[in-house]
Each structure stands twice: as C-alpha cells, then as structure tokens.
Structure 1
Amino acid sequence: MENFTAFEKTGTVPERNTGSIISHAFEMYKGLIGYAILTMILYVVASSLIQAFSGIDQQAVLDHVKSSEGTVDYTEIWKIEGMKEYYGLSALLSFLLGPLLVGLVYMAHKVNNNLKLNFSDLFIGYRQNFLNILIYSFISSIIIGISFMLCFLPALFIGPMLLIGYPVLLFENANAIEALKKTFSVAKENYGTFLGAGLLGMLISMSGLLLCFIGVFITAPFIYAVMYSAYVAYVGRPRQIIHNS
C-alpha cells in the first residue's frame, strides 16, 4: 500500500488556472505516455473480446446508422441482436477498469516526483482502496449516463464536477461518498477553471480521432493527467512517505 502524508505546496504545482493545469498535465503525460498507450491496448483488447462474446450484429448497427439520415433511433438499435449483452458487458468492463485508470493518476504523481515508473504502478487501484474506487466508478458512470440521456450539454457541465474524484480516492484513501462530496465541493468553488480544464482535457483526449485510429491510443488517457494536475493545483502535492511493494 502507498501512504501519503500532509499536502505540500512545494515542487511542481500548477497555478490555479486552466492554462497552467493543462500545461502541467502535458509535462506529466509525456513521462507516462508509454504506459498510457499500454492501458489503451488493454482496454481495446478487452472490448474486442466483449464484442465477440456478445455476438452483436455489427452490420445491422451500421445499416441502421446509414439509413437513419442523421436521426438515429436508439430504441431500434437496442433491438439489434447482441446489443443488450454488449452494452451490459461494456458497462461491466468500464466498472472493473476504473482502478486501472487510477494507476495513470498515480503514475502522473510519480512523474511529478521524479520517481521511476513500474508496470505494477498501473494496478495500484486494485491493491489500494479497491472497493471504494469501484463504487465511485459506478456512481459517477450513472451520473454521467443520466446526464447524457437528458441531453449532451448537461454531461459537459456535470463532468468537471467529478474531475478530481479519483485522486481523492487514491491520495486521501477516502470512501466513495467522501470523494464525491470533495470533488463537488472543490469544483463548485472553482467551477470556471474546472470547466475549462475538463473540457480542454477531454478535447485533447478525443483529438486522436482526427489522427486516425492509432491516434486514440496516444491521446485518450490524457484526461487522467489533467485530473492529477487539477488536484495538485487545488489540494496540494501529496508527499509519499512509505512504499511497501
């Protein structure tokens, strides 16, 4: 288990504005990009297995989208063979991979402290505060999911409220409800910066779509570096005092 003590305002800490947070996140991300790509590969492999296992009729989905003329009928897509199984298993995958994404936050912390990265760092979320990470991942997925169902815009505005939840779970060993309360509290008081950093971070993460499929592997995990940088800016840089392998 990793242990952290009181927070410091020393070392590499971004200023409390969108530009500084994004710039800091870039510096952190450069140091862990290889592991970020590996995380994406693991995710895509798992997704491919789910797709094969669900037996989803991909051609039926494509045909429906092509014939929709810009207005997709999701009730009809839901009826396509294997779609319910696919979405159910995909939700389960996202739920179970939450702790893996926490590993990227931890790696950003190690980059910030000039510590050597190890492959096992990716799995810290499965060793530390695992249950609360799962619960938080589940609750936050429901919040974002409902926001998207209401309309796309609510999700954009609610997403930044969850920006530092994973760092709170990792560095403060908080339970899921405490993490939700803290990320909402900090974001509410600094909403403009959190909105800017969250939206810009997501746009950068999604920018890989413009660089062909391979680009997604490079950019998609960037938002987790943004989570760390926002946390450090507004809470402080946690100082690691014990490392038990």
Structure 2
Amino acid sequence: MNQTQERLHDIEKNGYQIDFANVFNHAFENYKKIALYAGLVLFIFTFLFVILIGTSLVSVIGITAMTRELTPEKLKIENLSESNFLFVGSLSLIVSCLFSPFQAAFLKMAHCGDRDEEFHISDLFSYYKIPYLKEIIISSFLISTISFVQGTLLSYVHLELLGKVITYFISYITLLAIPLIIFGDLKAIEAIKHSILIIFKQPFVILGLIVVAFIGSLVGFIGCCIGVFFTLPFLYSMNYAIYSAIVGIDIQEIE
C-alpha cells in the first residue's frame, strides 16, 4: 500500500481536517506563480482550437449553412433532430475526453510552481501517455456521460435548471478524481469513488473554497474578457491546494 492509499484509508475511517484560510493562501500563492504562463497557454491554445474548429466547419458544411444551423435556437435540445442530437452529444463527449489530459497538465503546472520547478511546453502533453491517458479518459468519459444523460433527460421534461444543478453537483463531487489519478496513481473508478468520499467528509468547506475560486476566476471578465484566461488558472491552483491539503502528494509516485 503506497502513501496515497494509506492516507485515503485513514480518511475513510477517521475523516480529515481542512483549514479554509490555509488552503486559500496556498492556492493564491501558487496562482501568482503560474498565472502568466498558464494564462498565455490557455489563450493561445483556445485561439488555435477555435480557428481549427471554425475552419473545419466551414470546409465541411460551408459558411452559409454554418451560420444558419449554429444558432442558439436550433442548438436547443428540443429542436435537434435525433441524428443531430447524437452528433452533438458524441462530439461533446469526444472533445471532453480528448482535452482532459491537457487540462490535467495544469495541475502538474501548479505542482511545479509549488516546488519552484520549471514547467516546459512539452509537459502540457505529459498525460497523453500510458498509464495516465487511459485512466483520465475513462474518468472523464464516465463523468461527462452521466452529466450529459441526466441533463438531457431533465431537459426533455422541461427541468433544465435542475439538470444544470445536478451537472454542477457531479463536477463538484468528482473534483479530486483527476488529481487522484495523476498524483495518487489510482485507477479511474477508484479515483471517482474516493473523490466523492473525500468531498462528502467536508462538503461545505470545500464548496466554499471552490465558490471563492470560481468568483475569483470571473474577475477576468471585468474590463477585457481576455483577462479571464489569466484568472482561470486560479481554479487549477485551488484544486491542487485542496488535494495537497487533504491527501498530500507523494513525490515518488509522480516522478
């Protein structure tokens, strides 16, 4: 049994204590170290992704058809045909799964910042390799599928707001699944299970930290929306700080 498994076993039996102020300060100090680099990465890759998707859609269906079909009204679930619904749902799941290892790299960036280590561009793709790739994709697929299915079903019965609340709740209780995979070397199902267990041990403190981080990340919308790319990394720093405070990081497991 490695250090992470021992800690998780202890948490399961005895719970844990977490200090709001200490975790917030840790997250903020970490954020200051990675904000500029992470913001530039997010901005550049988002820009390139939008260009790629836009170019692909124009080349496949044409700009006129794209403008006509990709309207908010036509993209509502109740207005989608069965084939379009399956296409949109499948595309969303694929994109979510393919980009989840990339998002996981920002947690590694936070870890490098915490240890004052250099983070290289190549590290952004460090989790697109076995064994991390398989477990991250399985975890993302399961979480995204459950969220999508329940959201779709509730939307059909005109309970969209409840569907969104449940989607946010699922994201919240699985918050630590990816850190448990990349830092704790857990399998996808184990990581999801332990993430839920950990969150339910101290739900209100962790929720408070996430809400504060979310509000902080939205500050970037003030004045110039580009700023959000540089405030969004605060969420990754908070995720890292919460995991570090509760589970801790065994350096030997991730090197």
Q: Shared fold (TM-score greater than 0.5)?
A: yes
The percentage of aligned residue pairs carrying the same residue is: 27
Identify the match of residue 50 of structure 1 among 49, 53, 64. Answer: 53
Which residue of the partner structure matches residue 141 of structure 1? 144
SS in 1 for 2:118: coil
Structure 1 residues 1-150: aligned runs within 5 Å: 6=3, 16-37=18-39, 38-54=41-57, 55=61, 57-58=66-67, 61-62=70-71, 64=73, 73-76=76-79, 78=80, 88-127=90-129, 128-146=131-149, 148-149=151-152, 150=154
- Decide whether aligned partners of structure 1 residues 156 and 218 sit closer, same or farther in structure 2, where only a CA change above 3 A counts: same
Is contact 1:160-1:194 (8 Å) kept?
A: no
SS in 1 for 2:25: helix
Which residue of the partner structure matches residue 157 of structure 1? 169
- Structure 1 Cα separation of the partners of residues 20 and 146 of structure 2: 24
Where is the helix percentage greater, Structure 1 or Structure 2?
2
- Structure 2 Cα separation of the partners of residues 48 and 85 of structure 1: 20
How far did residue 87 of structure 1 move?
5.8
How far did residue 110 of structure 1 move?
1.4
Which residue of the partner structure matches residue 237 of structure 1? 249
Structure 1 residues 146-185: aligned runs within 5 Å: 146=149, 148-149=151-152, 150=154, 151=162, 152-185=164-197
Structure 1: 5+ residue stretches without partners: 10-14, 66-71
- Decide whether aligned partners of structure 1 residues 176 and 200 sit closer, same or farther in structure 2, where only a CA change above 3 A counts: same
- Structure 2 Cα separation of the partners of residues 75 and 17 of structure 1: 45
SS in 2 for 1:156: helix
How far did residue 91 of structure 1 move?
3.5
1:26-75: CA deviation from partner (whole Å, max 9, x where unpaired): 2112212233221342134223322332346346555749xxxxxx9542
- Decide whether aligned partners of structure 1 residues 147 and 225 sit closer, same or farther in structure 2, where only a CA change above 3 A counts: farther
Identify the match of residue 204 of structure 1 among 216, 223, 227. Answer: 216
1:76-103: CA deviation from partner (whole Å, max 9, x where unpaired): 3x36xx8875664343222111111111
SS in 2 for 1:157: helix
Is contact 1:162-1:184 (8 Å) kept?
A: yes
Q: What is the TM-score with the length of structure 1 in the denominator?
A: 0.77
Where is the strand percentage greater, Structure 1 or Structure 2?
1
Worse-matched range after superposition: 124-133 or 176-185 = 124-133
Q: What is the TM-score with the length of structure 2 in the denominator?
A: 0.74
What's the RMSD between the two structures over aligned residues?
Answer: 3.1
SS in 2 for 1:196: helix
The 4+ residue runs of structure 1 with deviation greater than 6 A are none
How far did residue 167 of structure 1 move?
0.8
How far did residue 184 of structure 1 move?
0.6
Q: Quick one: which amino acid aligns to residue 32 of structure 1?
A: I
Give the count of matched residue pairs: 225
How far did residue 104 of structure 1 move?
0.8
- Structure 2 Cα separation of the partners of residues 148 and 209 of structure 1: 27
Structure 2: 5+ residue stretches without partners: 8-16, 155-161
Is contact 1:22-1:197 (8 Å) kept?
A: yes
How far did residue 240 of structure 1 move?
4.3
Which residue of the partner structure matches residue 12 of structure 2? none
